Chains A and B, each alone.
Chain A
Amino acid sequence: MSLALLLFVSSVAGLVGAMAGMGGGVVLIPVLTVLGVDIKRAIAISIVSVIATSSGSASAYVRDHITNLKVGMLLEMFTIVGALVGASIALVSSQRLLFLLFGGVLLASWIALWLQRHEAWRPIDRQDRFSRWLELRGCYDDRAIGRRLEYRAGRAYLGGPLMFGAGVIAGLLGIGAGALKVLIHDLVMGLPPKVSTTTSNLIIGVTALAGTSVYLSAGLIDPGLAAPVILGVTVGAFAGTRVLVRVSNETVRRIFLCVLIVLALEMIDRGLRGG
């Protein structure tokens, strides 16, 4: 496979991924498998590139003060353990199962978001005691609506364990699992969509590192293939990040929905046809 093709394909994946608050892996893995890369290797390469995209986008969001660091660091405890478990499962899974799981996870995320599509973000009025004890609150300047938005996060007792599950999926499928993380932040913990996508970006970096360690030790990371992919995805994601802060919360959600459904159906189809 030529360097130019790999660079091009991965920069498109990075752009789309970052705009939707995903690490880029959900776009990258299906494309790499179409180009003939074995799914386990595609997963392993993707999870390394996910470190680059999420850290790259996170660096911009964090400095713009949109990311909630405490929410991020709290939830990381759950996702990294999940990622180690998930990646270990992936090593012993069959290819077909991985395709079906990948498609299933995307489809489930899509259905949950579709059901919620007309609901604008609703602030949490009463924060539970546990979440208050965890100091889960914050504010940021929303450029799209042109004012400062204050918010509190709730139901951390539910969000934590669910994030363990998101970590398992991330490690298992080599994606940031940003889709699931954003979903948990939005629907369970009540974070505004922009805070949830940007905080998810921060969490994804360490989660992917934990997953990478498992794939590296299994010898599945191929630096020759990974190098152009990492570079392309990161450049694409950087461009996507600059666009995200300028568009409205509803637009972000709409882009996310379109990308998810296409990829979900593609992967399920491949699982059913046997890879």
Chain B
Amino acid sequence: MRPRLDMELVVGGILLAGVTSSMVLLTAGLAWHWTRSGNTALDYSLAGTSIFEFVLSDVKALTPDGLRPRVLVNLAIAVLLLTPYVRVLASVLYFALVERNLKYTVFTVFVLLVLTYSLFLR
């Protein structure tokens, strides 16, 4: 019997939404930089940080005064990094609540825990 909710559409949708919004932000950031300074590469790097802190600082920079090309670029990278994480989170919910498959709930929870650990790694 096919489950009511099509898991493949959900997973595909999350991945598509994450990558698309990241690419839109990235294009906007790069285009903004390009028009402001001509065809040169963006020149800045990051000090070592955890993914969690990186995402947090990008969200904090999202103020009318703080908005610059590099904030958009950083935000694009943050959205990209969170995309697989959200996909795994959705998989856990699906296996636990819709398919009620204990085996695969345990497997996906394990993946989620390891990824959560890596979000805070620094």
Q: Do A and B bind each other?
A: yes
Chain A residues with CB under 8 Å of chain B are 1-4, 6, 48, 51-52, 55-56, 58-60, 62-63, 65, 67, 69-70, 73-74, 76-77, 80-81, 84, 134-135, 202, 205-206, 208-210, 212-214, 216-219, 221-228, 230-231, 234-235
State the CA gap A59–B122 with chains docked (Å): 30
From known contacts A51-B83, A219-B48, infer whether A76 and B111 are also in contact, taking CB-CB under 8 Å: yes
From known contacts A3-B39, A62-B15, A77-B110, infer whether A213 and B119 are also in contact, taking CB-CB under 8 Å: yes
Interface of A is mostly: helix
CB-defined contacts of B51 to chain A, threshold 8 Å: 212-213, 216
Q: How near does chain B come to A242, taking the closest CB pair, in angstroms?
A: 14
CB-defined contacts of A202 to chain B, threshold 8 Å: 11
Q: Could you say which of B41, B76, B83, B85 contacts A2, with CB atoms under 8 Å apart? A: B41
Assess whether A59 is in contact with B19, with CB atoms less than 8 Å apart.
yes
State the CA gap A56–B87 with chains docked (Å): 13
Beyond A56-B16, A80-B115, A213-B118, 19 extra complex contacts between A and B, CB < 8 Å:
A55-B84, A59-B12, A59-B15, A62-B11, A76-B111, A135-B103, A205-B84, A206-B84, A206-B115, A213-B119, A213-B121, A219-B49, A221-B46, A223-B70, A224-B45, A227-B76, A227-B77, A228-B41, A231-B26
Q: Could you say which of B26, B74, B91, B118 contacts A230, with CB atoms under 8 Å apart? A: B26
B61 at the interface (CB under 8 A from A): no
As a 0/1 sequence over residues 97 to 120 of chain B, the CB contacts with chain A under 8 angstroms (1 = contact) are 000000110011011001100110
B96 at the interface (CB under 8 A from A): no
Assess whether B114 is in contact with A223, with CB atoms less than 8 Å apart.
no
CB-defined contacts of A235 to chain B, threshold 8 Å: 23
State the CA gap A221–B48 with chains docked (Å): 9
State the CA gap A216–B118 with chains docked (Å): 10
Q: Could you say which of A4, A67, A209 contacts B118, with CB atoms under 8 Å apart? A: A209
Assess whether A77 is in contact with B111, with CB atoms less than 8 Å apart.
yes
Which parts of B6-26 form the interface with A (CB within 8 Å)? 7-9, 11-16, 18-19, 22-23, 26
Q: Could you say which of A67, A213, A221, A227 contacts B42, with CB atoms under 8 Å apart? A: A227
Q: Could you say which of A48, A60, A67, A210 contacts B115, with CB atoms under 8 Å apart? A: A210
* Closest B residue to A231 using CB positions: B26
State the CA gap A46–B76 with chains docked (Å): 16
CB-defined contacts of B27 to chain A, threshold 8 Å: 231
A-B pairs with beta carbons under 8 Å apart, 27 shown: A3-B30, A51-B81, A51-B84, A52-B23, A56-B16, A58-B15, A59-B11, A60-B12, A62-B12, A73-B108, A80-B114, A206-B85, A206-B87, A206-B111, A209-B81, A209-B118, A210-B115, A212-B81, A216-B54, A217-B121, A219-B47, A222-B44, A222-B46, A223-B45, A223-B46, A224-B45, A228-B30
State the CA gap A118–B12 with chains docked (Å): 33
Q: How near does chain B come to A164, taking the closest CB pair, in angstroms?
A: 12
Assess whether B23 is in contact with A65, with CB atoms less than 8 Å apart.
no
Q: How near does chain A come to B13, taking the closest CB pair, in angstroms?
A: 8
State the CA gap A217–B48 with chains docked (Å): 4
Assess whether A227 is in contact with B19, with CB atoms less than 8 Å apart.
no
Assess whether B114 is in contact with A84, with CB atoms less than 8 Å apart.
yes
